[in-house]
């Protein structure tokens, strides 16, 4: 099978939203009147972003999903994508499943594949995605204001927990892994939320490298600081079960701008995880690992955004309408950097702030 046979068979689809799609030297696109073009690229490299034996259907989904997440963070409607793919060989069974996963998600979000490139080499997947957003309505990183509430969508940490299991850094039961694996292999881009946040959020970003790293980008761009309540982080039942015996406890995420400092403990538990009753260190790892999953694990692809406190009730209405949990986890303050407090108001030693390819 030639390169052009491969493109025709697996990656050529009708693109009625483009003036010209796949098949020429360049695509021709027309942005709707009153809109500007939002463009982003993300690359997934075998061995760095996914395991070499990853399920090709799920990999096709994720390849597009991480790019759709960027459109969501900008408040943009995704329209077109280009795919550059390096393949060790033209494995038709693999290509059939990969393209099926890619186009299933593309169809769900109305995205048309309008071009790209193929070559032989180590497995490498790069998408350039393009979307539209009304002039002046894009969600940016640099708009956070002191007094804003800090919000996140969905739950945090499951993708990092599943990856830690695959890397043998922890041991999850089959049921626990099955519960958190979809967050790693089949993330759901929050496009509808991004559109709903236009005119409400002052800043936004998608969480790809971990909450602290990506919130840090908002704070740097906005020249502001933040205070986060660890007890308000929204986590799944699997990660909450790992953290429950530990100090500090997690609430599992409450949609309230007023952190509840009450606790069922009469005295503060020991900071030494090896001395917490019922904690199986050999099976689950250390306290720091679970804190890192929630705070800096990466691959969540949820949205982190800031909005004025006056919009709090409106955001809860959006959460109900989209059937998507939104949790208020802290506030923007004057200054710089991010401080994380435990349930007792004590500042946590949070260590590494997130994933960086060159550290």
**Domain spans of the chain?**
3-134, 141-341
**Residue 325 scores a pLDDT above 80:** yes
Is 101 within 8 Å of 134 (Cβ atoms)?
A: no
**CATH 3.30.1330.10 applies to domain 3-134:** yes
pLDDT tens-digit readout, 255-273:
443 333 322 222 223 333 3
Query: What is the 8-class DSSP label of residue 28?
Result: B
The dihedral sign for the CA sequence 202, 207, 210, 211: positive
Give the containing element (helix H, strand E) for 330.
strand 326-333
State the average pLDDT over residues 24-51. 91
pLDDT of residue 286: 57
112 alpha-carbon distance from chain centroid? 22
pLDDT of residue 11: 82
Burial class (CB in 10 A: 0-12, 13-18, 19+), 210: buried
pLDDT of residue 352: 53
Q: Tell me the C-alpha distance between 152 and 155, whole Å.
A: 8
- Structure tokens that stand for 353 in this block: 């702030």
**Residue 73 scores a pLDDT above 60:** yes
pLDDT of residue 81: 97
pLDDT bin (cut points 50, 70, 90) of residue 77 is very high
For residues 51 and 275, the model is more confident at 51
pLDDT of residue 19: 81
pLDDT bin (cut points 50, 70, 90) of residue 346 is confident
**Residue 357 scores a pLDDT above 80:** no
For residues 301 and 17, the model is more confident at 301
- Structure tokens that stand for 258 in this block: 């007023």
Give the residue from 198, 92, 72 showing the smallest Cα distance to 143. 198
pLDDT tens-digit readout, 123-168:
999 999 999 999 999 999 999 999 999 999 999 999 999 999 998 8
Task: Give the lowest-confidence range in 50-59, 305-314, 336-345.
Answer: 336-345
State the average pLDDT over residues 237-257. 57
**What average pLDDT does the structure give for the chain?**
85
Q: Tell me the C-alpha distance between 97 and 104, whole Å.
A: 11
CA atoms within 13 A on the CB side of 326: 28
pLDDT of residue 58: 97
Q: Which CATH architecture has domain 141-341?
A: Alpha-Beta Complex (3.90)
Is 212 within 8 Å of 354 (Cβ atoms)?
A: yes
State the average pLDDT over residues 107-113. 97
Q: Tell me the C-alpha distance between 327 and 253, whole Å.
A: 6
For residues 13 and 278, the model is more confident at 13
For residues 243 and 173, the model is more confident at 173
Is 173 within 8 Å of 261 (Cβ atoms)?
A: no
């Amino acid at each position: 099978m030639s390169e052009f046979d491969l493109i025709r068979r697996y990656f050529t689809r009708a693109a009625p939203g483009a003036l010209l799609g796949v098949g020429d030297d360049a695509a021709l696109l027309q942005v709707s009147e009153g809109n500007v073009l939002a463009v982003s690229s993300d690359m997934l490299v075998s061995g760095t972003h996914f395991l070499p034996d990853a399920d090709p259907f799920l990999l096709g989904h994720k390849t597009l999903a991480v790019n759709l997440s960027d459109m969501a963070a900008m408040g943009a409607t995704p329209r077109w994508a280009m795919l550059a793919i390096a393949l060790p060989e033209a494995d038709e069974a693999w290509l059939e499943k990969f393209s099926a996963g890619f186009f299933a998600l593309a169809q769900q979000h109305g995205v048309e594949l309008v071009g790209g490139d193929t070559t032989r080499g180590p497995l490498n997947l790069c998408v350039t995605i393009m979307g539209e957003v009304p002039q002046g309505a894009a969600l940016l990183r640099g708009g956070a204001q002191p007094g804003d509430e800090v919000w996140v969508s969905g739950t945090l940490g499951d993708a990092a927990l599943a990856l830690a299991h695959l890397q043998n850094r922890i041991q999850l039961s089959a049921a626990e892994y099955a519960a958190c694996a979809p967050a790693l292999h089949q993330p759901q881009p929050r496009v509808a939320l991004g559109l709903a946040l236009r005119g409400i959020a002052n800043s936004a970003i998608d969480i790809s490298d971990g909450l602290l790293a990506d919130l840090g980008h908002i704070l740097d761009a906005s020249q502001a600081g933040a205070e986060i309540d660890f007890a308000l982080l929204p986590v799944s039942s699997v990660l909450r079960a790992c953290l429950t015996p530990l100090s500090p406890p997690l609430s599992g995420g409450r949609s309230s701008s007023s952190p509840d400092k009450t606790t069922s403990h009469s005295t503060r538990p020991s900071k030494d995880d090896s001395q917490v009753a019922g904690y199986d260190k050999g099976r689950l790892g250390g306290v720091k690992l679970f804190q890192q999953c929630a705070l800096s694990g990466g691959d969540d692809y949820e949205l982190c955004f800031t909005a004025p406190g006056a919009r709090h009730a409106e955001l809860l209405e959006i959460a109900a309408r989209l059937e998507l949990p939104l949790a208020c986890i802290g506030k923007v303050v004057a200054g710089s950097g991010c401080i994380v407090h435990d349930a007792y108001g004590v500042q946590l030693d949070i260590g590494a702030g997130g994933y960086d390819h060159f550290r």
